[in-house]
Amino acid sequence: MNITKENIDALNAVVKVEISAADYQEKVEGILQDYRKKADVPGFRKGHVPAGMIKKQYGKSIMIDEVNKLLQESLNNFLTEEKLDILGNPLPKMQEDFNWDTEDFSFEFELGLAPEFDVDLKAKKKITQYNIVADDELLDKEVENLQKRFGKLVPQEVVEEGFTVAGTFTNEEKAIENKTTIELNTIKGKVNLKKFVGKKVGDVIELKSKGLFDDDHKLMAALGLTHDEIHGLEIPLTFTIEEINVTELAEINQELFDKIFGADVVKSLEELKAKIKEDAEKQFLAQADQQLLNAVTEYLVENTKFDLPADFLKKWIATAGENPLTPEQANEEYEKSEKGLRYQLIEGKVLKDNELQINFDELKDFTKGFVKAQMAQYGQLNPEEKELDDIVQRVLSNQEEAKRLQEQLVSKKLLDFYKENITFKVKEVNYENFVKEVYK
């Protein structure tokens, strides 16, 4: 057997695999002998069927099978031994004059090679790192929300702004009949709000789904539909009022503090706000970190220049799925995936050059921290070590879950590395302005 590689250019190569009869004949003969021992052919005793008959019936198919196995094994070994960093999978080159009726065979495979490049972490235009703070306006709003949550509903006869109404949304065409409760401050637009004000129990209000709430997720809950079902939904709705209530705010006192945090954990409004601020800014930090990772990713993709073996990748995409794609479809898929592929290569380069790869012990520790956090949400603050280890083992035995956690750990390592090695422009904002700037 002879395997050679010819570089077409920096990103494309052809591997040629030459297989002779000596490479596979002994294995084929051994399989034929085994077939002969087991063959049950009328007119012959078992194990005494003529070898020529067995060879004539099975020889070619066995030979083809063994050549293909040998070809795949030798090609994989060659790629490993040569340490070739390829994109996609090798693509066999079609040979019009190929013939299985010979003894010696020659196969050729196209390779798409990963480009060589450097990653520059010295951003010319500094990336913004947001420090999201809980300002006084947010803290006052959260205090009021807690007062509402622990307050009591007082029935009313007539709807006014700021009230809560319970009732049923209906639409005959979409078979919608869903009971829900609406806080009127979530209704979008003065026109919609006016339709509620002044109404009583039993009144029916005509509405439209589009632009009804300040958030489409609230429309999804109000109508009992899925995210896909409410996307672009424009239908008439009727809402029948069944209850009208106003929330009487709970008093800000020790009784309220104890209900929220437990006995004597918080003892004043100032301490309450400090606790809210601490918890809110922990959540904000996670969002700011995700935004920072996204911003670095965008920067690196835009500013790390290298070519890809585009023609090869398009051909590979056309044949990689269950159903072959047309050249036009493959080109469209390539355009969709090119940016992601570029970042995969950049991420791999950063991880390799800076020895940021993770090992199984790190993944176990990370998973343990994740499990402990989950358990703490349900009041299990001090689980036993054996219980934790058993849960971690079960979680990591699920391949999809293990992959998801591994990706999270890689993202954390990358983010920590970027924070240490990139100089950012730090900007302090409240949450409202962060949302405006990042998700505008």
Is residue 41 over pLDDT 80? no
pLDDT at 243: 96
Local confidence band at 424 (pLDDT 50, 70, 90 cut-offs): very high
Lowest-confidence pick of 110-114, 212-216, 364-368: 212-216
More confident residue, 373 or 165: 165
When pLDDT is averaged across residues 82-94 and rounded to a whole number, the result is 93
pLDDT at 123: 78
When pLDDT is averaged across residues 179-207 and rounded to a whole number, the result is 94
When pLDDT is averaged across residues 280-297 and rounded to a whole number, the result is 95
What does the pLDDT look like over 306-352, one tens digit per residue? 999 999 999 999 998 888 999 999 999 999 999 999 999 999 999 99
Give whichever of 23-37, 52-66, 398-412 has the largest mean pLDDT. 398-412
When pLDDT is averaged across residues 95-102 and rounded to a whole number, the result is 86
pLDDT at 345: 96
pLDDT at 322: 85
Is residue 427 over pLDDT 80? yes
CA 99 to CA 107: how far, in whole Å? 11
Is residue 160 over pLDDT 90? yes
pLDDT at 51: 81
pLDDT at 408: 94
Local confidence band at 67 (pLDDT 50, 70, 90 cut-offs): very high
CA 198 to CA 157: how far, in whole Å? 9
pLDDT at 33: 86
Which domains does the chain possess?
2-113 (3.30.70.1050), 152-248 (3.10.50.30), 267-438 (1.10.3120)
When pLDDT is averaged across residues 32-40 and rounded to a whole number, the result is 80
pLDDT at 50: 82
